[in-house]
Amino acid sequence: MTGIITNQDIKPGMLVYFRYRQWVILPSADKNILMLKPIGGSDAETTAVYRPLQLPSDTMEKAEFQYPTADDLADFQSAKLLYNAAKLSFRNACGPFRCMGKLSFRPRSYQVVPLVMALKQDIVRLMIADDVGIGKTIEALMILKELMERGEIERFAVICLPHLCEQWQKELKDKLDIDAEIIRSSTIANCVI
């Protein structure tokens, strides 16, 4: 880290080191409020700093990252694994949907239609009633993940028949990496919501 940044130097998109963490500066409508999002963090971790109350000890520095050295080189297999992981995490992420890069499956084009329909609604209310085997679960999971990625929802409930509870729990874990809790009438007293 080099060079303390003054308030006049701050511009949206800058990478800064502040309060022991690297941040990206976001646009703000109020000049007294500094909007920061941690690098590698989610939208939910966006933080606002009210500049008039900022402590003098809270200095902001331009974030700089060390260049790799020859000691950082590894074998070809490790480099290929890293390349494939980065490629998969950015897959389809540049499109209009935030969830596409974080799904563990590749949806078919017709399965995106309910997602588009859901995003056009102010309050998402959608009944998915396709034929058997078309992918209703996939369509519902994409809508769920997109709303979570946009920060529009933090929690959700899937209401289904008792014999489908384990199937939904498995699908949520396998496809979205969400550990879901099954709540039945016999176990609801033990649950903390």
In the chain, what are the domain boundaries? 2-62, 76-190
Query: What is the model's pLDDT at position 1?
Result: 45
- Mean pLDDT value of segment 161-185: 88
Q: Note the pTM of the prediction, 2 decimals.
A: 0.52
Cα separation, 126 vs 119, in Å, equals: 10
Is 11 or 9 the better-scoring residue by pLDDT? 11
Could you give the 3-state DSSP secondary structure of residue 1? coil
Cα separation, 64 vs 16, in Å, equals: 8
Given CA atoms 74, 40, 31, 2 in this order, what sign does their dihedral have?
Answer: negative
**Are the CB atoms for 146 and 98 separated by under 8 Å?**
yes
Confidence band for 149, pLDDT divided at 50, 70 and 90? confident
Query: What is the model's pLDDT at position 90?
Result: 60
Confidence band for 7, pLDDT divided at 50, 70 and 90? low
Query: What is the model's pLDDT at position 170?
Result: 92
Which DSSP letter does residue 172 get? H
Distances (CA, A) of 23 to 17, 36, 115, 137: 6, 6, 31, 36
% of the chain surpassing 70 pLDDT: 89
Is 47 or 58 the better-scoring residue by pLDDT? 47
Query: pLDDT tens-digit profile of 64-120?
Result: 778 878 887 778 888 888 887 776 666 545 557 777 777 777 888 888 888 999 988
